[in-house]
Amino acid sequence: MSGMAALKYFRRKWQLLLLLEAVIVGIGPAILGLVIGLNIFWIIAVFLLSTATYFILQKPWNLNLSKITGFIDSRFSAAEYSSGLLTIPDRNLTSLARLQKRKTEKLLEGNIKNIKPQVNFERAFSFLLVFSILTALIFFSGPSAGNDSNRIDEKTRITFTPLDSLDQSFEAPEILEQQVFVKYPAYTNLGTVSSEEMNIKTLRNSRITWVLRFTQPVKEVFFDTKNDRFAFKLQGSEYRYGTTATESGFYNFRFKDSTGNSYVSKVYYLEVEEDQKPEVIIKNLPLFSGFEAEDEKILSFETQISDDYGINNAYIIATVSKGSGEAVKFREEKINFEKVISGNPKSVVLKKSINLDDLKMEPGEQLYFYVEAIDHLKPVPNVARSETYFAEIRDTTEAATAVSGSMGVDLMPDYFRSQRQLIIDTEKLIAEKDQISEKEFNSRSNELGFDQKALRLKYGEFMGDESESGIAAQNHSEEPAAETDEDDEDPLEDYTHDHDSENEHNLVPAENDKEEDPLHEYLHNHDDPEESTLFTQSLKSMLREAMNQMWDSELHLRLYEPQNSLPYQYRSLNLLQEIKNSARIYVHRIGFDPPPIKESTRLSGDLDEVRSFSENTNKANENQFQAIRKSVSRLEIIIQNDLQLTESDENLFQRAAEELSSLAIEDPLKFIEILSDLKLIAEGKKLTTDRLKQLQKGLLLAIPNNDSRPGIEKAYKDELQEMFLKELQNVE
């Protein structure tokens, strides 16, 4: 055997041993599968999968000649670390190296079979041993048969504790079969489910039936709740009791054997869940939508509705309001979706487009709507609704009042909103200038100027001005006016101030002017139209500025220049809007005005006029759980003196169990074992000292902490001290 052939032989031997190690590992899971009842195909699959997984983890294909020679050099000292020369051709070696190569080949030919590859059979057999022990435990514990339908999981088995002393030779009855059947309400489509677990969580109005079977005949079996006790009915060899789940609580079982001895089980919880209301969400629609009269008034949206046990129906409730104040009228309609809900879906997306014209809405009217969904709950279904969404068709001639609802009086007149219509008509006239004659254009511009004048005069009346103030109204009487010379008439006479007239804006007062009143600046004269107004001074000045803008607007309209009139109209409209906003927030500006600080007593430390405040408050939790508090003290006495329970002790512990039930409903995992032991000693059962200490500790945890005790702790405590004390309280 040449040196290279020896190395290849050793590599194949090493790889085969690694495969054997993997096979030993794969035998363990295969035996376990055989015991638990898998068929032959699954057993073979488990064996092959386990073997292949372990074999791949070993990576035998990585055993190259370099690793082989390195391993041989480390394990076979006679090779003198020269086995690597066997992989190098002779032409690449020196004479001395070739001599060493020949020597190494002769050594390996006789000793290659004695070199043991590195294989961890101990680990493989450890795996096999672990699976063998697990298989034996499963086989002898019984579940390996897999056919005993009466076998109960030990974790869920109902265990009973005798309340009376028993004869040692008497074998107490045990549970042979236990089942609880939960029949959900018909609308849930969940049917009936069964379980051996006695801790139950179910839906309200579900029908629950308990079935118990014992190893020996028993006299009677009872179902105990907080305040009541009900007897099971014997049907054949089974005891049955059924009830409807209406509220959460705790229960346990008790029975009497044929000799009259009583037994009681631990406490189990019954948690009743409510059928939740549907969830309604409207998407792709803002809360408020506004439309102009000429717009396409369509509201398109989709509604996502979900429910835990299915949706019965969904629809839209729409209310149209018309008018304002006491004259407002409402019209309500029920609108169906385009898609009809069929079956019992738990989630659905409904689309709808509402055309306001189909609702016969007119400008100025508003629409309020929401989506309402109902589920299948019996007898009264759950009803849920979405947020309320609004839509409005704006009225160009009459907008909604801008006064806040918190103000007592609406001071805004209806004609405050006509300036917007003037702007619309002016823009329309400018757009139609090229389509109408010059005469019609001038006539319509003059009419708009008259409307602007009428609006300004109405504002003047509201400001307290006389009707003749400003530019005098034109005479529209039926009698013709006196003939005047048209050539002598100045067309701008009504719109300019004549400084050449008698005493018109002269700096020198007229002789008949009265002497100026020295108190004029400090009085509020209601006879003066400048002062007689319903607004404050700031609002009045803004409204006066708006009227001045109307004056300039009217001037350009009279001069047949509507395009030059628009800037003044917009400024007037903006001023009116600011007035509305000021009225809207006026009430909210009223706040608390604190009394002025007396600088003479500030920072003086004088407390003579300072009166302390005290209040007696009864803390609710101080009067709660009185029976639990007394039980903690009584348990301490019983533990220290090893006393027997008296009848008064049993009554005390029974009241404590009733108080603890309210806490156990909120946190059953924390208090259910404590409640079970508490009910045992309430029945007169003698518990060990360790269990009494655990019970006492659990009752202490149930008492709420009262951290707020004003007047008791006078010493200063920093944050570090508080943390230290809390840690001490948590130490067992």
Question: In this structure, what CATH number is given to the domain that contains residue 322?
Answer: 2.60.40
pLDDT digits (tens, 9 = 90+) for 231-242: 999 988 899 999
Q: Select the highest-mean-pLDDT range: 8-12, 52-56, 165-169, 276-280.
A: 276-280
pLDDT of the residue at 482: 38
Q: Is residue 717 part of a domain?
A: no
Q: Tell me what the mean pLDDT of segment 537-545 comes to.
A: 76
Round to whole Å and give the CA distance between 645 and 548: 98
**Greater model confidence, 11 or 567:** 567
Q: Is residue 593 part of a domain?
A: no
Is the same domain home to 419 and 460? yes
Is the same domain home to 571 and 442? yes
- Chain CA centroid to CA 730, Å: 33
Q: Counting Cβ atoms within 10 Å, is residue 674 exposed (0-12), middle (13-18) or buried (19+)?
A: buried
Round to whole Å and give the CA distance between 680 and 263: 10
Is the same domain home to 69 and 115? yes
pLDDT of the residue at 208: 94
Q: Are 533 and 464 in contact (CB under 8 A)?
A: yes
pLDDT band at 612 (very low <50, low <70, confident <90, very high): low
Q: What is the DSSP letter of 156?
A: T
Round to whole Å and give the CA distance between 123 and 593: 86
Round to whole Å and give the CA distance between 388 and 378: 27
Element (H, E) at 262: strand 262-265
Q: Residue 194 is part of which domain span? A: 160-273
C-alpha distance from residue 377 to each of 168, 203, 252, 281, 724 (Å):
55, 11, 30, 20, 53
Give which of 209, 192, 214, 195 is closest to 244, Cα–Cα: 209
CB atoms within 10 A of CB 560: 16
Q: Is residue 696 part of a domain?
A: yes
pLDDT digits (tens, 9 = 90+) for 421-473: 889 989 999 999 888 999 999 999 999 988 888 888 888 876 766 554 444 33
Q: Are 3 and 86 in contact (CB under 8 A)?
A: yes
Measure the CA angle with vertex 51, ends 46 and 52; round to 5°.
Answer: 100
Query: Which amino acid is residue 439, in one-letter code?
Result: K
pLDDT of the residue at 584: 47
Q: Select the highest-mean-pLDDT range: 118-122, 152-156, 685-689.
A: 685-689
Is the same domain home to 370 and 247? no
The predicted model scores a pTM of: 0.46
Is the same domain home to 242 and 286? no
Q: Is residue 705 part of a domain?
A: yes
The last residue of a domain, from among 109, 141, 173? 141
pLDDT digits (tens, 9 = 90+) for 17-68: 888 888 888 888 888 877 776 778 888 888 888 888 888 887 777 676 667 6
Is the same domain home to 322 and 299? yes
The last residue of a domain, from among 344, 363, 393? 393
Cross-strand bridge partners of residue 243: 208
Round to whole Å and give the CA distance between 557 and 452: 9
C-alpha distance from residue 640 to each of 425, 629, 636, 674, 689 (Å):
99, 17, 6, 20, 9
Domain count, the chain: 5
C-alpha distance from residue 523 to each of 248, 531, 536 (Å):
76, 10, 15
Q: Which two tokens stand for residue 204?
A: 């309200």
Is the same domain home to 245 and 183? yes
Percent residues over pLDDT 70 in the chain: 67
pLDDT at 189 over 80: yes
Q: Is residue 257 part of a domain?
A: yes
Round to whole Å and give the CA distance between 579 and 47: 89
Cross-strand bridge partners of residue 656: none
Cross-strand bridge partners of residue 231: 222
Question: In this structure, what CATH number is given to the domain that contains residue 191?
Answer: 2.60.40.10
pLDDT band at 145 (very low <50, low <70, confident <90, very high): very low
Q: Is residue 592 part of a domain?
A: no
Q: Is residue 216 part of a domain?
A: yes
The last residue of a domain, from among 332, 362, 393? 393
Q: What is the mean pLDDT of the chain?
A: 75
Is the same domain home to 284 and 267? no
326: which residues sit within 8 A by CB, 6+ positions away?
none
Cross-strand bridge partners of residue 208: 182, 243
pLDDT digits (tens, 9 = 90+) for 578-600: 777 665 443 434 455 667 777 77
Q: Is residue 148 part of a domain?
A: no
Is the same domain home to 435 and 336? no
CA atoms within 13 A on the CB side of 373: 29
Is the same domain home to 327 and 427? no
**Greater model confidence, 3 or 158:** 158
Is the same domain home to 261 and 298? no
Is the same domain home to 327 and 435? no
